[in-house]
Structure 1
């Protein structure tokens, strides 16, 4: 046995972060092995034909490691305040950037499975981010906005001039600022991975 209900610490936080990557948990990581964590572990075990104990043993942990990636600092420590909503029904088929305005999160989903989740911010009330279903129509790795003369690295355009892109301002100031309508990502490593995976034509769903 590695971890069980009542345990806490960084290892439990990593367990929760990895469970969250594959959509068995939608809260935290909190670092505490609570009832929701035990329930998620039981579900993960059941899906893979393992004994449904809710306790993380070596076999369960090895299976989880094989299906997930090393969580970064954001996933381990800074997502706890903003749990991702359950995915919008329009996100459950195909390749989708599923973007929730209510939880301020972007889920990258393929065929209903969450591949990664990251915090995002949106446009101000004067330049709001459009809601609806769109398609990625252009990717620009080193983009600079001609309208605002500001860098938009890893830009993935989905509606007019609105794109998902990395924002150094978001990384520095957090939610104290806002975009001009784009979907800002503050974790550069996360969006670099996302940019590599997303293709032209992939769906973008922006919803409450």
Structure 2
């Protein structure tokens, strides 16, 4: 059984090594998009808001269809209200993306504060465990990031989401670029 797995794994690795240019190419594209988003950070923020608003509208419509499809069910009203709120919030963000960016930035800051506080509390409850100091460090970083976002709100709303998008694209791009390089080296050294 383990030999079957090793054969399957070897075949998968062989196929993956042969596709190293895709990883390399997508890495370059993501790096370029991240650089563009960093240069046009306000545009990246507004594009993020429009994208999120569109998803909220689609999700709200799906919830409304679901609610109306199961009408005899006891939670029909809950599904309907939730779907309607998603649609209204999405339309609001599409009509006024600057206000949508402010609201999303505030929600992001609040979420980071809450997650940071939760991680610190979990660390405090389990601080005698080996390795739990990493949870404390993670919680501290999240809490400080959330407080910095909240302290600069609403002024920072026009660039925080775009900056985070650009940083994410840059990190993903570098990661895929280096995976592509590693796969290329493995492809050249293949048996």
> Which has more radius of gyration?
2
Would you say same fold, with TM above 0.5? Answer: no
Q: Which has the higher helix share?
A: 2
Which of structures 1 and 2 has the larger relative contact order (alpha carbons within 8 angstroms, sep 6+)?
2
After TM superposition, the score normalised by the length of structure 2 is 0.23
Q: Which has the higher strand share?
A: 1
After TM superposition, the score normalised by the length of structure 1 is 0.21
